[in-house]
Amino acid sequence: MQAKLDGANLPYAVYHYKSKGKSYLSDTISAQAERLGPGYTTVPRRETCSFLYHVKCGKGYSKLVTAEGEALEIEWKEKDTFAVPAWCQIQHVCLSGEPAYLFAINDRPMLESLGFIRQA
């Protein structure tokens, strides 16, 4: 997976895992791998699904703004795991001189099937 993300030759790349014949990994869970280039900051995003992130390697932090407007920062490094609740704005920042690689699962397929998915 790291080679695929590196091969995109972009400061930020995302790969969405899919099962054969499906748009997602399963009917209830989606999985993705992300690569942040050294010093890169992602564009803030917000959606109704929740995420569970695991840091394969790299160092950085994620800026969160909760649905209630509370601003938080989660510092992370290799082997850390952190959760992002539904409808939190999230923005990742890579602090290391090397790329950071994150793996995440989310509940997007389940929410889409129920008609609850929304993004901002």
Asked if 100 and 51 count as a contact pair (C-beta separation under 8 A), the reply is: no
Task: Read off the pLDDT of each residue in 87-102 and give the average, rounded to a whole number.
Answer: 97
Cα–Cα separations (whole angstroms), residue 118 to 7, 59, 99: 30, 29, 30
> SS3 for 84?
strand
Rounded Cα distance between 25 and 105, Å, is 10
Q: What is the mean predicted confidence (pLDDT) over 4-29?
A: 95
Model confidence, pTM:
0.94
Q: Which residue has tokens 């649905």?
A: 67
Instruction: Look at residue 120 in the predicted model and tell me its pLDDT.
Output: 87
Local confidence band at 44 (pLDDT 50, 70, 90 cut-offs): very high
State mean pLDDT over 34-53.
97
pLDDT for 34 equals: 98
Q: Fill in the amino acid letter for 69.
A: G
Please state, rounded to an integer, the average pLDDT across all residues of the chain. 96
With beta carbons less than 8 A apart as the criterion, state whether 36 and 12 touch: yes
CA 20 to chain CA mean position, Å? 22
**Other Cβ atoms closer than 10 A to 30:** 24
Distances (CA, A) of 106 to 1, 10, 13, 52, 120: 18, 23, 17, 6, 17
User: What pLDDT, in 10s, does the model give residues 57-89?
Assistant: 999 999 999 999 999 999 999 999 999 999 999
